[in-house]
């Protein structure tokens, strides 16, 4: 039976921050692009790549948090099984 885990507060905050970075960054980049006369400049490219790096970093944080939670749940199950087996051994 697959256990469903609840999302943590950190994951919810990370989701909100990720959406804010996506939306606000997109609008700022679009505004700068329009102000520069719809031309691609070196500063514009740097801004876009830094924004993409921030988005990728947030995605990697979310993946890392999910993996960490999965590992912790597996360890908790193993500890419970060890405890049950030790208690059964003492009762014999």
Q: What is the pLDDT of residues 48-81, one digit of tens each?
A: 999 999 999 999 999 999 899 889 889 999 999 9
From residue 36, give the alpha-carbon distance in Å to each of 3, 23, 31, 53, 79: 52, 20, 9, 22, 60
Q: What is the pTM of this model?
A: 0.77
pLDDT tens, position by position, 16-36: 999 999 999 999 999 988 988
């Amino acid at each position: 039976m697959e256990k469903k885990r609840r999302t943590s507060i950190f994951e919810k905050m990370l989701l909100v921050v990720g959406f804010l970075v996506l939306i606000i960054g997109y609008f700022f980049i679009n505004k700068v692009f329009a102000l520069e006369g719809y031309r691609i400049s070196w500063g514009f490219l740097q801004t876009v790549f830094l924004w993409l790096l921030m988005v990728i970093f947030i995605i990697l944080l979310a993946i890392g948090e999910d993996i960490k939670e999965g590992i912790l749940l597996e360890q908790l199950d193993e500890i419970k099984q060890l405890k049950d087996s030790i208690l059964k051994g003492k009762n014999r």
